[in-house]
With several copies, the nearest count.
Chain A
């Protein structure tokens, strides 16, 4: 079982969720984050003083899936979230020991 954590542009979220859902990924968890990377953020100006707002608003999408469907999820993410401009984001892949559905106590693949 793996967790695919992607940091994406916020306005891609809706499309990504729909695409994943259509492909049969029936669960995901989303959070608001700020990222710093090659995309350097903006020079913001406040009352005459410039400052670098290093952090760009991003959305983190976490999908836990069986190891074998992992590839497919990644493909979808790459397809939907790629604009080709700096700042498209990253995908990080982790190994997961186990998943449990709180409602039923099921674990492993059945919990997803």
Chain B
């Protein structure tokens, strides 16, 4: 009887934890809509179908490749502890034990798989925004498939799968590096291979190409913030009240401070309160806190968020100066603030210290090297074979007509 009681109590805890992890999965899922609307809003209307198409199939590609290889590349099991690479075989399937707390007190095998799968797809989405308005659709889809199917899980394994970075003491709570920087590096390399959009840096000056629908971008950023409750909160891997609620607070305060940081920086240095910068600031704060969301006090999370918000403004301006054309600011948000957030773990919070900072740096560098190398190879291969950039004519006319033979707001000719 007593055993039964203990069992029942444990089962209840398991059910609660698993419920939270499933909800966190749903929250991370909605981030894909956030990315879709953010990226569509910050680009031109003639490329809207195209960007929405990419963002609509990325979750599908992500989940399916994660089913086939990704999950088992990223979590190959204890026999690969400390390694650089591991693989536990194709496909996913669960034994009866895998859906009880014998698998884990926090979640079932299925929840584990789906939560991680939703994460995986976000890395590709980050790239989608940076290369928008000029990339060939089939090339992007192939890139995205390889990126989420292989590159992301291999890097993820280094830390979350128990690989060498984990052994080393590198810390990345919810993926400032493992998700955001990975996506950011892929984006940076992609942008360099592609070159800027026509006219962006023509005649030696920067000609802004404003996003066509700012309300869409706002919807996107709020949905991303919402999703981040699951992204960071779910990374506790249980419904632990103390930790999850702290993570909710640090996440929200960093986002808030990011908004204020970017507002201040854009108002102060760029003369006007720039809404798109403020939106980027919210995301910057979120990315910045992600590596140490469970380690920071409210004050520390405000500091980190504020700095990230300021950084993102200058990063956007700087990348424009060096002619890295990123329509949505993905590289500034995810790569730059991802690195900052990773290093922040060594500077503020429970783990702060030079040793930790060094470990973080090793993580940043090794991840950077690998992802740059891997994505360079992919982009290079694609460029040599099918090509990665649409024709000049198609770029002027818009990818919606060129790639999809559709328009996103076609009411004119059907005024009838």
Whether A and B touch (Cβ < 8 Å) is answered with yes
Instruction: Please report A residues at the B interface, Cβ cutoff 8 Å.
Output: 9-14, 32, 34, 42-49, 51, 53-55, 57, 59, 85
Q: How far is the CA of A49 from the CA of B320 in the complex (A)?
A: 9
Within 8 A of A (CB), among B249-298: 266, 270-272, 274, 276-277
Q: Return the CB mask of B343-378 against A: 1 if under 8 Å, else 0.
A: 000000000000000000000000000000000000
Tell me if A44 and B407 are in contact (CB < 8 A).
yes
Which residues from B are CB-within-8-Å of A32? Answer: 412, 415
Cα A10 to Cα B413 in complex, Å, equals 9
CB distance from A51 to the nearest CB of B (A): 5
For residue B403, give the distance in angstroms from its CB to the closest CB of chain A: 11
B210 touches A46 (CB 8 A): yes
Closest A-B pairs by Cβ, 9 of them: A11-B416, A10-B415, A46-B208, A48-B317, A49-B206, A49-B208, A45-B405, A44-B405, A11-B396
Determine whether B329 belongs to the interface, using a CB cutoff of 8 Å to chain A: yes
Distance in angstroms between the alpha carbons of A32 and B206 in the assembled complex: 25
Chain A CB count within 10 A is highest, among B199, B208, B320, B393, for B208
Taking the complex as formed, is B335 at the interface, i.e. its CB lies under 8 A from any CB of chain A?
no
Contact of B405 among A14, A42, A55 (CB under 8 A): A42
CB distance from A17 to the nearest CB of B (A): 10
What's the Cα separation between A107 and B262 when bound, in Å? 50
A48-B313 contact given A11-B396, A42-B401, A43-B405, CB 8 Å threshold: yes
Residue of A nearest to B329 (CB): A47
Q: Please determine whether B270 and A45 come into contact, CB atoms closer than 8 angstroms.
A: yes
> Can you add 10 more A-B contacts, CB < 8 Å, to A10-B415, A45-B406, A53-B413?
A32-B415, A43-B405, A45-B274, A45-B404, A46-B274, A47-B274, A48-B316, A48-B317, A49-B206, A55-B413
* A11-B199, A11-B416, A13-B415 known; A44+B406 contact, CB < 8 A: yes
Interface size on B, residues (CB 8 A): 29
Closest residue to B413 on the A side, CB-wise? Answer: A55
27 residue pairs of the A-B complex, CB under 8 angstroms, read A9-B396, A11-B415, A11-B416, A12-B416, A13-B413, A13-B416, A14-B207, A14-B416, A32-B415, A34-B413, A42-B401, A43-B405, A44-B405, A44-B410, A45-B404, A45-B405, A46-B208, A46-B276, A47-B208, A47-B317, A48-B266, A48-B270, A48-B274, A48-B320, A51-B207, A51-B208, A54-B413
* A79 → chain B closest CB, angstroms: 16
CB-based nearest B residue for A85: B393
Interface of B is mostly: loop
**Which chain B residues numbered 277 to 335 have a C-beta less than 8 Å away from chain A?**
277, 313, 316-317, 320, 329
Distance (whole angstroms) from the CB of B111 to the closest CB of chain A: 36
Residues of A within 8 A of B410 (CB): 44
CB distance from A34 to the nearest CB of B (A): 6
Nearest chain-A residue to B328 (Cβ)? Answer: A47
Q: How far is the CB of A41 from chain B (nearest CB, A)?
A: 9
Instruction: Give the complex CA separation of A12 and B393 in angstroms.
Output: 13
Most buried by A among B396, B404, B415: B415
Chain B, 384-416, CB within 8 A of any chain A CB:
393, 396, 401, 404-407, 410, 412-413, 415-416
Q: How far is the CA of A93 from the CA of B270 in the complex (A)?
A: 44
**Max chain B Cβ within 10 angstroms of own Cβ: one of A34, A47, A48:** A47
Contact A44–B401 (Cβ < 8 Å): yes
Q: Which of B266, B320, B393, B416 contacts A10 (CB 8 A)?
A: B416
What residues of chain B lie closer than 8 Å to A46, measured between beta carbons?
A: 208, 210, 274, 276, 406
Separation in Å of the B41 CB from the closest CB of chain A? 13
B316: chain A residues within 8 A (beta carbon): 47-48
With A and B bound together, what is the CA distance between A45 and B317 in angstroms? 12
Name the one of A42, A44, A47, A55 contacting B320, with C-beta atoms under 8 angstroms. Answer: A47
Residues of B within 8 A of A42 (CB): 401, 405
A39 to B415, CA, bound (A): 18
What is the distance, in angstroms, from B332's C-beta to the closest C-beta of chain A? 10
Complex Cα distance, B208 from A34, in Å, reads 19
